[in-house]
Chain A
């Protein structure tokens, strides 16, 4: 073998080794299947109450570059298994890791250009990290640690804005769209206000209610959520207690929809009744699925006539053999991109709760719509994802051409096939999050109640009934509860 031939073979082998190394890392980090396919058992296990199975699925299929999802999924499963302290440990680890992941790894980014986006450590989306204080607060309430729940109330107001900023920094200004409007999450602000009032931090409660009112007024249409009628009463009650008459009058003007059903006169303290706040979390947030395109580029194709080529490609409908008859394939293009599957209608259309005494019925109000937030976030990120997908396809093509040039046709084909085999869309997301949250408020005399919860379909017909026995209500007190409906 002469020097030139040896040098070409060496270059080809080095290139092949680089791809193999990248591919091995990619396969080692994430396996062959996409994340959503790999962890497909998790949702049915959680819905069926198989918490041990769900934890095993998380344990077996996450970690490495999905470490953040490992903590988040574990935190949720443990929360629903009533293992509140362990759930909070998992969520605390997720918060620490999410902080650390602010700094992006250049080597991970470079590796993703020759493998797939699964080579990059998963960074949570803003609506995902914003839900961590919600679950942690519920856990602390379950543990009987109100002071720690209040810490989460404070965090709930901060997290969303921080992660929206971080996400916006990674997308082009013209693509930011509605995501830039989501720096404040009306539901989380309202939730923190309720916790503050429970913790007797009336001033903080009023500020959180006020911010929630402004956010609901501005974003309820975009997020497709209802403005909770109780919010106006909460504002009037706390504002009156603090002597904030002028602030309330100003808010009535700036948030007319929030006060639409509120009385003109001040609402005093709740007196001898206690307040039950029941959160009904329903469904699953839409997940991403892979959309894959595979098609050949022929050696002798005349690509100057795009229409003709496109019709031929369309006409073959995936029957590449028929299309390729008698022609030589130059390169096999394989690109995979994620698509958010949010086209299914929501199963739960509403809910009703009764405490079994006169006047103790209340309907749930859809206060949070995580499916919509997922769509807004995905739409903002989509152009960047597709740009990177094209860039990766081009990098793989150039690598294959270089391998062919240096090591011959076999090296080129091998590099092409390997690049195609490891092409995979990044379908990672926090899969156990609910699709939406409804809030039910009941003002009840002190006592112990068995609450009956009716879950309604989209036509308003009940299709599931749940019972919450032994709910204790104290005079002037707050009782926070949550239920998940799958």
Chain B
């Protein structure tokens, strides 16, 4: 009898403890490499952003518009990246995609990139401040900003399909490079990402 109670008691104590603590597991934090591909929910994530921006910039720079511009104007083209419009049913931080695109362009070295509208406002505030507080030899002048030759416009669209726990997520990022002088589209490209998110019907 005593042996039996000895066996059962821990089970009862464990049950009581579980009831009190609500089965809560401790939180664990692990640092991982930022380049590591991690998909948790299947939603748009940093890996998608990096893959799409690298592919799009590769496409843009592989076409002859840069050389055409160089031959005609004798200088590198200047590009401004417009915010990528999110037309999906997910809240996507498109600023990271815009930043990835900018970085790819800047690091490629074949085009110049100018600051976005929001960034320009910040810069102008600083320049205005300099007019009052900076020394004359270091103060930057008004009216010397570089105007962009081309604007990169883009949007993300998505299509979802699902059946019995399996979900298909299809993202398409469309981008156009538009000549700011005459609205000519000098390049159009897109990049697609397709994901299948499988969910088991049951777990233990």
Whether chains A and B associate is: yes
Q: Interface on A for B, CB 8 Å cutoff?
A: 1, 6, 9-10, 13-14, 17, 20-22, 24-25, 27-29, 63-64, 92, 96, 99, 102-107, 147-148, 151, 154-155, 158, 162, 165, 169
B89 at the binding interface (Cβ < 8 Å): yes
Query: Do A107 and B204 form a contact, CB below 8 Å, given A6-B4, A148-B91?
Result: yes
Given contacts A147-B86, A162-B162, contact A104 B203 (CB under 8 A): yes
Verify A17–B11 contact, CB threshold 8 A.
Answer: yes
Interface string of B38-80 (1 = CB under 8 A from A): 0001000000000000000000000000000000000000000
Q: CA of A14 to CA of B87 in the docked complex: distance in angstroms?
A: 58
Name the A residues within 8 Å of B16 (CB-CB): 24, 28
User: With A and B bound together, what is the CA distance between A165 and B164 in angstroms?
Assistant: 8
**A103 to B91, Cβ gap below 8 A?**
no
Of chain B, the residue at the smallest CB distance from A19 is: B15
Contact of B86 with A13 in the complex, beta carbons under 8 Å: no
CB closest residue in chain B, given A148: B91
Which B residues are CB-close (under 8 A) to A9? 1, 4
Q: Is B32 among interface residues, defined by CB-CB distance under 8 A?
A: no
With both beta carbons as reference points, the residue of chain A lying nearest to B83 in the complex is identified as A147
**Cβ of B12 under 8 Å from chain A:** yes
The interface centre, meaning the residue of B15, B90, B203, B204 with most chain A CB atoms within 10 A of its CB, is: B15
Chain A interface secondary structure, helix, strand, loop or mixed? helix
Q: A151-B89, A151-B90, A155-B89 are in contact. Are A29 and B204 (CB under 8 A)?
A: no
Q: Which secondary structure dominates where chain B touches chain A?
A: mixed
A to B CB contacts below 8 Å, 11 in the list? A17-B8, A21-B15, A25-B18, A27-B19, A28-B16, A28-B20, A63-B22, A64-B22, A99-B41, A151-B88, A154-B88
Give the interface centre of B4, B23, B162 by most chain A CB atoms within 10 Å. B4
A102 to chain B, nearest CB (A): 5
Q: Please tell me if the beta carbons of A25 and B202 are within 8 angstroms of each other in the complex.
A: no
> For A6, what are the chain B residues with a Cβ–Cβ distance below 8 Å?
1, 4
Known: A24-B18, A165-B162. 7 other contacts (CB 8 A): A27-B19, A64-B23, A99-B41, A102-B165, A104-B202, A105-B203, A154-B89
Q: Is the CB of B22 within 8 A of A14?
A: no
Cβ of B160 within 8 Å of any chain A Cβ, yes or no, is: yes
The interface residues of chain B lying within 8 Å CB-to-CB of A148 are 91
Residues of A contacting B11 in the complex (Cβ-Cβ under 8 angstroms)? 17, 21
Compute how far the CA of A437 lies from the CA of B129 in the bound complex, rounded to whole angstroms.
52
Residues of chain B within 8 A of A64, CB atoms compared: 22-23
> Is B200 an interface residue, CB under 8 A from the partner?
yes
| CB atoms of B8 and A14 under 8 A apart | yes
In the complex, the answer to whether A17 meets B12 with C-beta atoms within 8 Å is yes
Assembly CA distance A10 to B15 (angstroms) = 18
| Complex Cα gap A102–B16 (Å) | 28
Nearest B residue to A102 by beta-carbon distance?
Answer: B199
Which B residues are CB-close (under 8 A) to A24?
Answer: 12, 15-16, 18-19
From A29, A103, A165, contact of B22 by CB (8 A): A29
Q: How far is the CA of A25 from the CA of B17 in the complex (A)?
A: 9
Q: Does B29 contact A (CB under 8 A)?
A: no
Write the chain B residue with the least CB distance to A109.
B202
What 3 pairs between A and B have smallest CB-CB spacing? A28-B19, A21-B15, A154-B89
Is the C-beta of B201 less than 8 angstroms from some C-beta in chain A?
yes
Contact check, B19 vs A29: say whether CB atoms are below 8 A apart: yes
Output the nearest chain B residue to A63 by Cβ-Cβ distance: B22
Would A13 and B5 be within 8 Å (CB), given that A25-B15, A103-B202, A104-B203 are in contact?
A: yes
Please state if B89 and A13 are interface contacts (CB–CB under 8 Å): no
- Which of A10, A14, A17 counts the most B-chain CB atoms under 10 A from its CB? A17
Please state if A158 and B89 are interface contacts (CB–CB under 8 Å). yes
For residue B52, give the distance in angstroms from its CB to the closest CB of chain A.
Answer: 18
List, in ascending order, chain B residues with CB within 8 A of A155's CB.
Answer: 89
**Residues of A close to B8: CB separation below 8 A:** 13-14, 17
* Closest Cβ–Cβ distance, residue A371 to chain B (whole Å): 28
Asked if B22 contacts A106 (CB within 8 A), the reply is: no
Question: CB distance B160 to A106 under 8 Å?
Answer: no
**How distant is the Cα of A104 from the Cα of B164 in the complex, in angstroms?**
13
Within 8 A of A (CB), among B174-204: 199-204
Query: Does B22 lie within 8 Å of A28, measured CB to CB?
Result: yes
With a cutoff of 8 Å between Cβ atoms, the chain B residues found around residue A107 in the complex are 204
Q: Are A169 and B89 in contact (CB under 8 A)?
A: no
What residues of chain B lie closer than 8 Å to A10, measured between beta carbons? 4
User: Which listed residue (B89, B164, B199) contacts A103, Cβ 8 A?
Assistant: B199
Complex Cα spacing A24 to B160, Å: 42
Query: For the complex, what is the distance from the CA of A154 to the CA of B90, rounded to whole Å?
Result: 9
Smallest CB separation, A435 vs chain B (Å): 28
- How many angstroms from the CA of A151 to the CA of B20 in the assembled complex? 40
Contacting residues, chain B, for A25 (C-beta < 8 A): 15, 18-19
Question: A103 near B201 (CB under 8 angstroms)?
Answer: yes
Contact between B199 and A105, CB atoms less than 8 A apart: no
Most B Cβ at <10 Å: residue of A1, A21, A107, A147: A21
A469 to B5, CA, bound (A): 71
Give Cα A437–Cα B195 distance, bound, in whole angstroms.
37
| CB of A36, distance to nearest CB on chain B (Å) | 21
Roughly how many angstroms separate A276 CA and B5 CA in the complex, as a whole number?
71
Contacts of A158 in B (CB 8 A): 89, 160
Q: Most chain-A CB neighbours within 10 Å: which of B22, B88, B89, B202?
A: B89
The residues of A that contact B162 with a CB separation of less than 8 Å are: 162, 165
Q: How far is the CA of A28 from the CA of B23 in the complex (A)?
A: 10
Contact yes or no, A106 B89, CB < 8 A: no
Bound complex: CA of A156 vs CA of B12, how far in Å? 47
**B85: A residues at CB distance < 8 A:** 147
Name the distance in Å between A4's Cβ and chain B's nearest Cβ: 14
Give the nearest-CB partner of A162 in chain B.
B162
